[in-house]
Structure 1
Amino acid sequence: MRRCTSEQRGVSPDVITRAFVATEDEFLGLVQEQWRTRPQIASVGACCLVGVVCNGLLYVANAGDSRVVLGRLRSPFKEMKAVQLSSEHNASVESVRDELRLLHPSDPNIVVVKHKVWRVKGIIQVSRSIGDAYLKRAEFNQEPLLPKFRVAERFEKPIMRAEPTITVHKIHSEDQFLIFASDGLWEHLSNQEAVDIVNSCPRNGVAKRLVKAALQVAAKKREMRYSDLEKIEPGIRRHFHDDITVIVVFLHSANLGLRTPVSVRGGGELSGSAIF
Structure 2
Amino acid sequence: MFKFILNDAANYVRSNVREFSLNAVRWLPQLPQLSPYDINIVLRENEFVYNFPVDGVIRSYETNQLGSNSPCEDSRTEASLLHRNGFICGIFDGHAGAACGQVVSKRLLRYVSAATLPRQVLREQMKQGAGSQSFLKCHNDNVDFVSEIKPIYEASFLKYIKKLTETPQRDVSSELVEAFLELDQGLSEEALDSNDMRTMSVALSGAVACLVHIEGLQLHVASTGDCGAVLGVLDPKTQQWQPKKLNIEHNADNMSEVRRILSEHPKEEHETVIRNGRLLSQLAPLRAFGDFRYKWSLEIMQQKVLPLFGKHAMSPNYYTPPYLTARPDVQQHELGPNDKFLVIASDGLWDFLSPSEVVSLVGEHINSKKILEPMRLPEGDITLQQISNQLAERKAGLTRKPVDQNAATHLIRHALGATDYGIEHSKISYYLTLPKDVVRQYRDDITITVIYFNSEHIAQLHSGADLSGITAPVA
Normalising by structure 2, we get a TM-score of 0.49
Distance 1:34 1:201 in 2: 49
Q: Which residue of 2 aligns with 1:3?
A: 114
Q: Which residue of 1 aligns with 2:182?
A: 22
Is the 1:123–1:149 Cα contact (8 Å) retained in structure 2? no
Distance 1:66 1:166 in 2: 13
Distance 2:239 2:224 in 1: 33
Select 2:415's aligned residue among 211, 214, 219: 214
Letter in 2 for 1:251: F
Q: Which residue of 2 aligns with 1:159?
A: 323
**Does 2:400 match 1:198?**
no
Q: Which residue of 2 aligns with 1:188?
A: 352
Letter in 1 for 2:189: G
**Does 2:101 match 1:101?**
no
Distance 2:413 2:195 in 1: 38
Cα distance change, pair 96–9 in 1 and its aligned pair in 2 (3 A)? closer
Select 2:273's aligned residue among 110, 113, 118: 110
Q: Deviations over 1:85-114 (max 9, x none)?
A: 11110112222211111122342211111x
Q: Deviations over 1:8-64 (max 9, x none)?
A: 667511111111112212222333256674555443111111111123121111000
Cα distance change, pair 112–16 in 1 and its aligned pair in 2 (3 A)? same
Distance 2:213 2:469 in 1: 12
Alignment of 1:27-46 (within 5 A): 27-33=187-193, 37=197, 40-46=201-207
Is the 2:346–2:446 Cα contact (8 Å) retained in structure 1? yes
Q: How many residues align?
A: 256
Letter in 1 for 2:455: S
Distance 1:28 1:235 in 2: 32
Cα distance change, pair 36–171 in 1 and its aligned pair in 2 (3 A)? closer
Select 1:134's aligned residue among 280, 293, 296: 293
- Greater shift, 3-12 or 161-170, is seen at 3-12
Cα distance change, pair 156–166 in 1 and its aligned pair in 2 (3 A)? same
Distance 2:436 2:408 in 1: 19
CA deviation after TM superposition for structure 1 residue 183, in Å: 0.9
Distance 1:263 1:47 in 2: 26
Question: Matched residues, percent identical?
Answer: 23
- Greater shift, 19-28 or 30-39, is seen at 30-39
Distance 1:164 1:21 in 2: 8
Is the 1:112–1:121 Cα contact (8 Å) retained in structure 2? yes
Question: Which structure carries more helix by proportion?
Answer: 2
Is the 1:180–1:246 Cα contact (8 Å) retained in structure 2? yes
Q: Which residue of 2 aligns with 1:82?
A: 243
Secondary structure of the residue aligned to 2:237 is: coil
- Greater shift, 51-60 or 27-36, is seen at 27-36
Instruction: Pick the structure with greater CA Rg.
Output: 2
Select 1:246's aligned residue among 431, 444, 448: 448
Q: Structure 1: 5+ residue runs without aligned partners?
A: 219-223, 265-275
Letter in 2 for 1:16: L
CA deviation after TM superposition for structure 1 residue 234, in Å: 5.2
Distance 1:122 1:48 in 2: 22
Is the 1:47–1:66 Cα contact (8 Å) retained in structure 2? yes
Letter in 1 for 2:274: V
Cα distance change, pair 252–36 in 1 and its aligned pair in 2 (3 A)? closer
Is the 1:53–1:261 Cα contact (8 Å) retained in structure 2? no
Distance 1:238 1:179 in 2: 23
**Pairwise CA RMSD:** 2.8
Q: Which residue of 1 aligns with 2:428?
A: 226
Is the 1:54–1:259 Cα contact (8 Å) retained in structure 2? no
Is the 1:42–1:145 Cα contact (8 Å) retained in structure 2? no
Cα distance change, pair 57–40 in 1 and its aligned pair in 2 (3 A)? closer
Distance 1:87 1:248 in 2: 18
Letter in 1 for 2:243: A
Q: Which residue of 1 aligns with 2:339?
A: 175
